[in-house]
Amino acid sequence: MSMILGDKEIQKEIEKKTIVIEPFDLKHLGTNSYDVHLGKYLATYKDAILDARKHNEINTFQIPLDGYVLQPNQLYLGVTEEYTEIHAHVPFLEGKSSVGRLGIDIHATAGKGDVGFCNTWTLEISVSQPVRVYAGMPIGQLIFFTVAGEIQNYYNKKENAKYTQRTDKPVESMMWRNHF
């Protein structure tokens, strides 16, 4: 049976280094989650029409100190400030309710990470109306589930893993690396 880790269990796993969060600050640890923050970079795709079989390039830019206004009908790729390593649990990234109440969605489909994921999290951000965002603002929360049984295929050990290069910038879709 999979269960969500509570705050004391998250702290124990951090001490054992099965969960790594950099930077880690105890004040961001919730009852059963850890708050992550919007990094300083956003990106948008260069082309208006994306092609799943092609490498769709992005324009990356830094969020100004006075914030950046996100617009509806535009997909933004963001990134978490926090680098994570998850060696024994299944991480889920969920939006914070305060962020959702501003009309900000932080992931279109990719809220679940894999055991062995070691990186910052690229966010798939969309908004329902214009909203100003700031680097360093709380953007989401990581929830950690226990895993039943042994892991055979850790993400960071897979030959075909597409998102293993450590970065502090958003990463575009690597769908084009699949064979279909």
State the catalytic residues. 124
Position 86, amino acid? I
- State the DSSP code for 112: B
Amino acid at residue number 16:
K
How deeply is 43 buried, as exposed, middle or buried, from its count of CB atoms within 10 A (0-12, 13-18, 19+)? Answer: buried
Please give the single-letter amino acid code of residue 151: I
C-alpha to C-alpha distance for 10 and 5, rounded to whole angstroms: 6
Using alpha carbons, select from 67, 86, 177 the residue that is nearest to residue 133: 67
